[in-house]
Each structure stands twice: as structure tokens, then as C-alpha cells.
Amino acid sequence: MRRISRGKFVVIVSFFLCLLAIEGWIYNNTDGQNLNIKYESFDVRNISTANVTKKFRGVGNGLSNIIKVEKTTYSFKAVVQDKEAKEEKKEEVVPVAPPVPFWHLPTEMGTISQNPHYSHMAFDITSPRGSNEVIYPVANGVITSIYNDAYGALIVTILHEVDGARYTSQYVHLSRYAEGLYVGKWVSYTDPIGWMGTSGYSTGVHLHIAVLDCALYDPNDANCANLNSFFAYGNKKALEGYWGLGSYVNVPVSWTSRS
């Protein structure tokens, strides 16, 4: 009799253990299904930001019932490494994630036709669209000047503040300005500021773009208190190996950066 009771006891305990296991499995499974995340869209056309829409579907209240929608915009920031850090990492063979630029490219399409050097502190960018190529700010900022230089080039400069540091981007040779531009206007990186052109000292339609870590026309900024100091500072930085926009943006040979 004792042996039978023990046997029955074991069977009953096993049965309940089994029930607990099944309940646990159902609970975990249901919990997982309740947070069924569906990625509706992932916009990677813009290399600096990504929009992700998550839809949470409830299974308890009917299939494909959307109970929650979350929209998130991810902005990527540049990883700026100093020379020492780069040298240290030289020997390591570590797979690294692709660079995530903070700055936006100034055009939708383009090819670099000239890199910065000591007498040309800027990138020259051409486009298959020619003067139909819209020029955008490389980051949000405020317009600090709209002017023609001595050769008649149409120029815009924008002041940016990124992580507490100030930068000036300069866009040269535009064919025309966007409407409604004025000095002091806040612009987003999605606001057109003009169109590519060949105004001024230029042999073909292109954008000449310089980005310097100074605030143009700020009397408190000795580096770029005026246009002459802007160029002088740019050339000094170029001799030091500073490549303006290229220091921050991984600029491909050609690209489509904006939707």
C-alpha cells in the first residue's frame, strides 16, 4: 500500500509540475505576443537620421488590433576621434559599425570634384542635375550672411552650434537664392537655401562648400571676426590637415542623402 501511495504521490506531483510548466509556457508566450513589434518603415535614405515606426499589436483584443504606435527619429552623431586614438586602434582588427555622420550632406546628389588643400579650403561638389540641384544647410543653424563676393558669386553662410562648439558653413557659386532668406533667419537642414550654380569665379556649375570651427562676423571670435580672417583661418586649418566638412562627414564619391 505504501509503495502505491508513493507512486500515486509521484504521479500527482509530476502532473502539477507539468501543469505549472505549461502555464509558464503559455504566460511567457502570450506576454511575447502582446508586444509584437512590427517595423512599418525604416527610412535609411537619409544617412543622418532614421525614422522608425513601431506598431504594438494586441492579441487579446482581437488579432491585428493595433494598441499602440510609437514613432521615433534617431539622429546619429559623429564619432570624432583624435589622432592618438586612431593610432592606438591601428593594430586592432575589430569590426566596427559604419560611421554615423552628424552633419547632413548639402545636396541630394553630388560628386566631389575638388578636395580641400592649402589654397582651397573647401569641397567642390558637382551634380548631374546641375543648377537644378537644391542646396541645403549641413545642419540646423542661423544665417549669418547673404552676399556677393568681388567676382559676383552668390554666397550664404550659416552659423551652427553642435555640442557647444560653433561652426560656420559657407555655400558659394549659387545660381539663385531660395525665397525668404534673411540674415538672422533660423534654418533647418531640410530648408533649401538656394540652387547650385556657377556665379562668380567659377568654370562650371558646382557648389563650393567650406565648414570651419568658428563664428563668422562674431567680433568675439578672433579666428573669424570677418571674411578675411575666415579665409586666413581656413588656410591655416588646411595646412594643419583639417578638412572642414570632411572632418565630420563621411562623404562618399557620390551619394543620395535626402529623400
Output 47 or 153, the one with its CB closest to Zn ion. Answer: 153
**Least Å from the CB of residue 208 to Zn ion:** 3
Output 113 or 188, the one with its CB closest to Zn ion. Answer: 113
**Least Å from the CB of residue 140 to Zn ion:** 24
Helix (H), strand (E), coil (C) string for the chain:
CHHHHHHHHHHHHHHHHHHHHHHHHHHHHHHHHHCEEEEEEECCCCCCEEEEEEEEEECCCCCCEEEEEEEEEEECCCCCCCHHHHHHHCCCCCCCCCCCCCCCCCCCEEEEEECCECCECCEEEECCCHHHCEECCCCCEEEEEEEECCCCCEEEEEEEEECCEEEEEEEEEECEECCCCCCCCEECCCCCCEECECCCCCCCCEEEEEEECCCCCCCCCHHHCCHHHHHHHHHHHHHCCCCHHHHCCCCCCEEECCC
Output 101 or 234, the one with its CB closest to Zn ion. Answer: 234
> Residues in contact with Zn ion, total (CB under 5 A)?
3
Considering only the stretches 16-24, 60-68, 79-87, 205-213, report the one whose residues sit in contact with Zn ion under the rule CB under 5 A. 205-213
Q: Residue number with the shortest CB distance to Zn ion? A: 208
**Least Å from the CB of residue 167 to Zn ion:** 18
Interacting positions 73-132 with Zn ion (CB under 5 A): 122, 124
**Contact pattern from residue 206 through residue 225 relative to Zn ion, giving x for each residue in contact according to CB under 5 A and a dash for the rest:** --x-----------------
**Contact pattern from residue 160 through residue 199 relative to Zn ion, giving x for each residue in contact according to CB under 5 A and a dash for the rest:** ----------------------------------------
Considering only the stretches 135-143, 184-192, 204-212, 239-247, report the one whose residues sit in contact with Zn ion under the rule CB under 5 A. 204-212
Chain residues binding Zn ion by CB under 5 A are: 122, 124, 208
